[in-house]
Amino acid sequence: MHKHEDCRKLLDSLSGYHDGEIPQELCDEIEQHMKDCDNCRIVVDTLGKTISLYQTTSEEITVPDDVRQRLFHRLDLDEFLNL
């Protein structure tokens, strides 16, 4: 796939394509290209999955209670801990 000009173009625009930040014309061109190029479709799909995996696992992160307590203590805000 690497020598193919359309594949190269897709690669350059891939991130913008994922974010919906490229012109509609280029977007249509990429979608048309992916119909005929399995490798590019795989790269687009796995890139999207990569981003969504990081987002899903990061949403679960919260500040642990003991970390929150030490933070409030360090900032001399203990009296507001239970508000």
Residue 29: which of 10, 48, 8 has the closest Cα? 10
CB 9 within 8 A of CB 19: no
Backbone phi, then psi, for 81, in 5-degree steps?
-60, -35
Does the protein bind other proteins through residue 4 (CB under 8 A)? Answer: no
Residues 25, 51, 65, 69: which binds other proteins (CB under 8 A)? 51
Does the protein bind other proteins through residue 47 (CB under 8 A)? Answer: yes
Closest to other proteins by CB, 32 vs 51, is 51
Closest to other proteins by CB, 11 vs 29, is 11
Residues 23, 28, 31, 67: which binds other proteins (CB under 8 A)? 67
What is the separation of C-alpha 27 from the centre of its chain, rounded to a whole number of angstroms? 18
